[in-house]
Amino acid sequence: ATVAPIDPIALFAEEVEQVKRLLAPGTRRGAEALARLRALAIVDGAMSGERLQPSENELRKVAAKIGAGETHLDTLFPGISGISFSVEGSGPAVNLRISKKEGIPVKLMPEGTAGTRVVGVKRVNELDFYNLRFNELKTKLGITQNQLSALVELLNIKTSEDYSKYIITTWCYSQNALKSLETALQNKPIEEWWREYRMKSQ
């Protein structure tokens, strides 16, 4: 018989209920409850753009709320509750789609920005986004290979996925990178950038 896929949110809710049972008077399983809460708090933090380990004090505060009868995810773990999971399929092939719940504002932010709810964004075809190669950039900008290498390093083009990505065997660049490089050359000529690079390299 086919088993219907389980909603991940239901699993989180069940985990909270399990923590509540562990915190019941006379159970003496507080350490286990805190361990389970830590895992939930880490997931919640990731959904909110935070990568810090929750402190013991923070976990005890959440445990106190659960011990007092609070089990709603939107109160205990707003990062988790703000995400909707859609599961399709069963067996070894299961598709999981993560999206924002209706009514929750979404804004694209740099990865790792604290205090923001995180939704995964996947570019359908990365080669469509990173559609420029080094020689194409050089030709469009009208500068030499060495000058472009210097400018790419000075502007940290290779440190941002908005600008570039190493795909298979080569660096590929986006239109955003081209615009950033063009703006830099409008601000000052390549000769000045080259002198800055040479001084930095000494």
**Model confidence over 145-187: pLDDT tens digits?**
999 999 999 999 999 989 999 887 789 999 999 999 999 999 9
Whether 119 maps to a domain, the answer reads no
Which among 58, 84, 110 is the end of a domain?
84
| Domain residue limits at 149 | 126-201
Whether 2 maps to a domain, the answer reads no
Asked if residue 130 and residue 80 are part of one domain, the reply reads no
Per-residue pLDDT reduced to its tens digit, 58-108? 899 999 999 899 988 888 888 777 776 665 555 444 455 555 555 555 555
pTM of the predicted structure, to 2 decimals: 0.43
Whether 3 maps to a domain, the answer reads no
Domain count, the chain: 2
Whether 115 maps to a domain, the answer reads no
Whether 195 maps to a domain, the answer reads yes
Hey, which residues does 88 pair with through a beta bridge?
A: 95
User: Can you give the pLDDT at residue 108?
Assistant: 56
Asked if residue 73 and residue 138 are part of one domain, the reply reads no
Distances (CA, A) of 130 to 36, 49, 160, 161: 41, 25, 12, 9
Give the residue, 46 or 140, on which the prediction is more confident. 140
User: Can you give the pLDDT at residue 198?
Assistant: 93
Asked if residue 133 and residue 74 are part of one domain, the reply reads no
User: Can you give the pLDDT at residue 99?
Assistant: 54
